[in-house]
Structure 1
Amino acid sequence: MSCLRSLVALVPLFVAVAYGQQIGTNTPEINPSLLWEECTFPGLCQKVNGSVTIDANYRWTHNVGGYTNCKNGNTWDATICPDATTCAENCAVEGVDYASSGVFTSGNALTLSLNTVTNSGPRLYLLGADQKSYQMFKLNQHEFTFDVDLSQVACGMNAALYFSEMDLHGGSASTNKAGAKFGTGYCDAQCPSGDNFFNGQVSATSDLLNQANLENNGICCNEMDIWEANRVSNAFTTHGCSQNGPYTCSGAGCQGQCDGNGCAFNAFHQGDQQFYGSGLTIDTTKKFTVVTQFLTNNGLSSGHLTEIRRLYVQNGRIHENPPTQVKGMPPFNSVSQQYCDAQRTIMNATNLFDETGGMEPLSNAFETGMVLVFSLWDDPFGGMTWLDGPGAGSCPGGLDTSGGPVVNVTFSNIKFGNIGSTFLL
């Protein structure tokens, strides 16, 4: 359920921001380093020198060689942006001061800060070693593991880690010299229309254009939410689309393009209210490890995705995801075609999961590779009730700011590799 995340995450950290495509010269872009590991067998892992970049929408974007904003609020500057391509050529995106944007790294740890007064928290992407492209993860028959400390993240907040089918280079092109290093090219299964620039059509020279989104079109792509959570509740969710992304859609034409609600597993919602939370089996007042395994029909990376399995590790113990305890539901403890169909039947909901292809869209995206995304955001309007409210968690609804105006989450010890290779007791 990334709809609210997509909207809230676009709240600017600066007075006027927009996606931009040329490179500004006022603030140098120094991407914070972040170590992660690639594993073959348990204990046999190789460190990878990665780094992170903040989403382009969080950056100051202005006319090339000047200081005039390309866009103020919802209004484009008609002089700078008379048409989509010229706008991309005329706009420059600046580097950022990551500390003032609420981003801190140390070794293999990434800490994000959320200001609940201004409702501003960062969205980040993991870069490849060259810092010119995103790190791509091919997830079929592999597992992805990380540690998380979200003891400060209360009701109405979401510390999210997920995968997006973004372009490897962020749509880098003649009209997008900024590219992945500056966090361009975001898309997700909500087909967000708030993005100010998007990947356009491929020209005759196969140059992927990146043009201004003057028509406020949506940008769709497959999405896998590994982790959407606070200290009360969590969910992992599939979001498939009807075609490979990223691609654009317009207005009502975006409806039904992707499974926006997704097929989710939330232990509380599935009937086990004593598994996850403060002082419970997975004690969210302390750091713990989250393992997600993507299993195929033949046990090979060339196979088709059939099941997404979750494990937790805390205090030297492995905890399997608890099975469903909902009347009429078999005791599933993972996400699969069978689980998603049974859940839709119980909920009597529109089955966009099947209508968009079931597990196939994500299976294809996992084979191509997906970009790792981190974000921390809150929902002062809807209260994040789909994640932690009545039925989904124990929150009454609304944003809990009793912990103060600044909230932190730390993701650390990220590992990717063969099944069973990324964690040790």
Structure 2
Amino acid sequence: MFTPATCTLLFVASLAFAQQSGTLIPEFHPPITTKYCTNAGGCTAQSRSVVLDSNWRWAHTVSGFTSCYAGNTWDATVCPEPVMCAQNCALEGADYAATYGITTSSDAVRLNFVTVGPSGTNVGSRVFLMADANHYQIFKLPNKEISFDVDVSELPCGVVAGMYFVDMQADGGLSGFADNNAGARFGTGYCDSQCPRNVKWLNGEGNTLGWTPYSETDGKGRYGSCCQEMDIFQGNAYSSIGAAHPCSSSNQYRCQDEIECGERYDYTYAYENPCDKDGCEFNTYRLGNPSFFGPGGTVDTNHKFTVTTQFITDTGEDDGDVVEIRRSYKQNDNDIPVPFSSIVPPPESGMGTFGPYESITNNYCADLKQAFGEVPAFTYVGGLDNTITPSGRVLVMSISNDYYNRDATWLDSGAHGPCPAYNADDVELESPSARVVFSNIRFGEIGSDDEQLKFFALSAADDLSPSIVAGRGDQWELPTSLFTSNKRARHEEEHHQQPQSHQDVFGIRERQANAHRLHDLLGIDMVIVLIGVIGGSGLYHLDNLSIVKEVNPETPWGFPSSPIIICALPSGTKVAFLARHGQGHIHAPSAVPARANIAAFKSLGVRAILAFSAVGSLREEISPGSFVLPSQIIDRTKGVRPASFFEGTSIVAHAAFGDPFSNKLVHWLESRVQKALDAEGRGVQLFTGKTIVCMEGPQFSTRAESVMYRQWGGDLINMSVLPEAKLAREAELSYALVATATDYDSWRPQSEAVTAMEVFKTLQANADTSRHVCATILDELHEAIDNNAASEDADILCEEVGSMKFSIMPRSAKQNPQDREKLAYVLPEYFSGE
């Protein structure tokens, strides 16, 4: 039921909302893992993501930076009428964490109520679950159930967290409206049962006609966006409801004016629109059970709990009609059913009690409206038949103070909860640290949400160690030994010779055998990944890949920058992708957890890392847009960033680093990258044999520094290649950098000094080309590694193998065993089994 766009973000260039897609700010959807469950097969993890609603985004003129919407009004020059407004405006990407307070971690989404960001203050947010980069996930609810965990312990009175379904189009209206070129990728197409008129863009047009401000940043237009809505959970720490909101229209519908939209402020027209705005709610507080939900209650909101909602059909089949919506809870492994509740009308009504009821049915809703003297709009517009239809729904998660409806007293005050009446503005001032965390979302067959881990076969697996599957909290991981073989080390000891290309020097065959053993014994599918791709600024995803799974391994050096997405190319080749700066670019160069990144890749079995990085050019001929495969590094970060896995341990190692990149791999890449660039046809130049300066940021170079780096022989400059390359060498992983020039740094006297805006102009085109390069060469690279026994290219990875054997100081009694165990995570060949 969250209809407002209570976004008070005070940009220098104020917020706006549009339907064209911009290119200035990269749009990266924060990933989240959900599960689909069946009674026969249990729960299967699915890699999904969330996208921010377009009502929160900055928009500007397509050809410039003029905001289409400033303060609480439209720019009449840019938006003289609805269609032209849509054509003139471009919707930009979002900085989810810093600007909007939206973060994900594994299976969790955290929404902060108030976020003070680099451009101002944001209040509230609304996100949708994505199936892929351009489509919302569609849920068909009849004969299904949804479960999720939620933590509302930091949600005070007046702040509402919502998880609900609405009847939005899967592509956000992209295919249905000519002037909508943004679509689901930018969070367009929102609707709900309130027919909100503060939605800035409807059906591919700007909602500019009759626009009337109602707050410092928001207003309402002539049109509203109506659709069926099912509230799975609307609540805070003191009250919660589930509610069904039918609409007579089975699809998103644009109501035309104040009367048809049923403007709610004075209820004059509240029951003239096609939807039931009040809905049929089930609120245990209102129904006479005030101690059931709340701090210290039966469902104790001081702690996380699970909510399950079932959509029961008359036939028990997916094609039946939903006749009952049933909710239950779980906390501390205790199942908590919703108590039977009687509807007690006010004494002056003269009516007796109704019920008892424990779920939402058409009869319950009719009795509820009659008992409390409410307009029976629920029945008028079709009841449950027009709430849960077979067409499918989009899942919404939100946090707000419901400014559009003046406040959230409908949830938690008066007859609905123990909270006092309040003003929405006061809530923002008094509760800026409020937040909600939704996690562990499961959807599927009724009764299927019973996650039994299949480890019963371990007792019969005499040849496998009992620690083959190790639990860490609610994360399950396979130990490094299953991914990284000791076979090479054993072979060297037995035969006293260097590994050759015809042998299984990387342990690939052994790891594949381990994978088959796990599958046969335990039913666990272990993904073998040989190539890791690190995306730099602007490169936050790869194209034409299907997501296999998302992993977030905890290493001895912490978690990686972002969850690692394991993807499959159309050929089936699997690669692991990691965003160096995190989802939404949240890690500055100096704060990138490089040791965790490289260690996580090594634990997955990765043998070669292809890293991408935006760089500045120190040479006239390397123009912005050029690609470079550098061969040398000048380090200007020494002493600032942790640069070795051995730091802080009792073990000393001196890795060879005269050639910081893998020469054979770089040479192998040269012709392949050039071929890919030629095939793209944009005329992008490739340079090789160049030197890159790695500087300490986050500020760009001064002019004097930039000139000095040129005099030193530097050709490129960035902030990210170190310590990444050093750590890859210590982990005995092949490493190559594909540098993409975005600017000329600050050495050219006739030019302006480099700025972030200048970098952004080239970043997107470079990222598109980088994705094309990946799509072209990854199959061949994987084949070269996987077929090392027969391939003539097998030795492209051999120069790193064994490179640390004589770099590590001999073992002594002063070496801490715990340090050796820690280092075994990345170098099991030298530190395991001792």
User: What are the superposed Cα offsets for residues 151-191 of structure 1, whole Å, 9 maximum, x if unpaired?
Assistant: 00011111111111111100114422211011001001110
Q: Does 1:49 align with 2:43?
A: no
Aligned to 1:91: 89
Aligned to 2:254: 248
- Alpha-carbon distance in structure 1 between the residues aligned to 2:449 and 2:414: 35
Q: Does 1:6 align with 2:31?
A: no
Pairs aligned (count)? 408
Range with greater deviation from structure 2 (79-88 or 149-158)? 79-88
- Alpha-carbon distance in structure 2 between the residues aligned to 1:55 and 1:401: 20
- Name which of 412, 415, 420 aligns with 1:396: 420
Contact 2:401 2:427 in 1 (8 A): no
- Name which of 138, 143, 146 aligns with 1:144: 146
- Alpha-carbon distance in structure 2 between the residues aligned to 1:197 and 1:383: 24
Contact 2:192 2:229 in 1 (8 A): yes
User: What are the superposed Cα offsets for residues 11-49 of structure 1, whole Å, 9 maximum, x if unpaired?
Assistant: 343443232111112110011001000000287111111
Aligned to 2:70: 72
- Alpha-carbon distance in structure 1 between the residues aligned to 2:317 and 2:85: 45
Q: After superposition, where does 1:26-425 map in structure 2 within 5 Å?
A: 26-41=24-39, 44-100=42-98, 101-115=100-114, 120-128=123-131, 130-173=132-175, 174-199=178-203, 210-215=204-209, 216=221, 217-249=223-255, 250-255=257-262, 256=272, 257-327=274-344, 328-364=353-389, 367-379=390-402, 382-398=406-422, 405-423=432-450
User: What are the superposed Cα offsets for residues 341-360 of structure 1, whole Å, 9 maximum, x if unpaired?
Assistant: 01011011110001111111
Q: Partner letter of residue 302 of structure 2?
A: T
- Alpha-carbon distance in structure 1 between the residues aligned to 2:384 and 2:54: 30
**3-state secondary structure, aligned to 1:248:** strand
Measure how far apart 1:75 and its partner are.
3.4
- Alpha-carbon distance in structure 2 between the residues aligned to 1:191 and 1:91: 24
Aligned to 1:204: none
Change (3 A) 1:178 1:121: same
Change (3 A) 1:45 1:236: same
Change (3 A) 1:181 1:12: farther
- Alpha-carbon distance in structure 2 between the residues aligned to 1:24 and 1:349: 46
Contact 1:142 1:418 in 2 (8 A): yes
Q: Partner letter of residue 392 of structure 2?
A: G
Change (3 A) 1:400 1:190: closer
Measure how far apart 1:382 and its partner are.
4.9
Contact 1:125 1:373 in 2 (8 A): yes
**3-state secondary structure, aligned to 1:334:** coil
Q: Partner letter of residue 190 of structure 1?
A: Q
Range with greater deviation from structure 2 (300-309 or 19-28)? 19-28
Range with greater deviation from structure 2 (118-127 or 264-273)? 118-127
Contact 1:42 1:424 in 2 (8 A): no
Q: Partner letter of residue 193 of structure 1?
A: R
- Alpha-carbon distance in structure 1 between the residues aligned to 2:73 and 2:416: 38
Contact 1:140 1:295 in 2 (8 A): yes
Range with greater deviation from structure 2 (10-19 or 305-314)? 10-19
Aligned to 1:207: none
- Alpha-carbon distance in structure 2 between the residues aligned to 1:125 and 1:85: 26
Change (3 A) 1:44 1:289: same
TM-score by length of 1: 0.91
- Alpha-carbon distance in structure 2 between the residues aligned to 1:159 and 1:46: 27
Measure how far apart 1:317 and its partner are.
1.3
- Name which of 15, 19, 22 aligns with 2:20: 22
Q: Partner letter of residue 211 of structure 1?
A: E
Change (3 A) 1:379 1:190: closer
* Structure 1 unaligned regions, length at least 5: 200-209
**3-state secondary structure, aligned to 1:110:** strand
Q: Partner letter of residue 141 of structure 1?
A: N
- Alpha-carbon distance in structure 1 between the residues aligned to 2:402 and 2:394: 24
* Structure 2 unaligned regions, length at least 5: 210-220, 263-271, 345-352, 453-834
Q: Partner letter of residue 200 of structure 2?
A: N
Measure how far apart 1:74 and its partner are.
4.6
Q: Which runs of 4+ in 1 moved over 3 A?
A: 116-119, 379-383, 399-404
Contact 2:9 2:122 in 1 (8 A): no
**3-state secondary structure, aligned to 1:254:** coil
Contact 1:294 1:309 in 2 (8 A): yes
Contact 2:32 2:104 in 1 (8 A): yes
Structure (1/2) with the larger helix percentage = 2
Identical pairs, percent: 41
Change (3 A) 1:363 1:382: closer
Range with greater deviation from structure 2 (169-178 or 378-387)? 378-387
Contact 1:272 1:325 in 2 (8 A): no
- Alpha-carbon distance in structure 1 between the residues aligned to 2:251 and 2:331: 36
Aligned to 1:206: none
User: What are the superposed Cα offsets for residues 89-134 of structure 1, whole Å, 9 maximum, x if unpaired?
Assistant: 2110110111121101000011010119967011100111x21010
Q: Partner letter of residue 384 of structure 1?
A: A
Q: Partner letter of residue 356 of structure 1?
A: V
Q: Which has the higher contact order (CA 8 A, sep 6+)?
A: 1
- Alpha-carbon distance in structure 2 between the residues aligned to 1:165 and 1:371: 6
User: What are the superposed Cα offsets for residues 301-336 of structure 1, whole Å, 9 maximum, x if unpaired?
Assistant: 100110000010111111111111333111100000
- Alpha-carbon distance in structure 2 between the residues aligned to 1:375 and 1:24: 24
Q: Partner letter of residue 258 of structure 2?
A: G
**3-state secondary structure, aligned to 1:166:** coil
Measure how far apart 1:383 and its partner are.
4.7
**3-state secondary structure, aligned to 1:420:** coil
- Alpha-carbon distance in structure 1 between the residues aligned to 2:21 and 2:449: 38
- Alpha-carbon distance in structure 1 between the residues aligned to 2:343 and 2:84: 55
Aligned to 2:680: none
**3-state secondary structure, aligned to 2:355:** coil
- Alpha-carbon distance in structure 1 between the residues aligned to 2:70 and 2:430: 33
Alignment RMSD (CA, Å):
2.0
Structure of greater Rg? 2
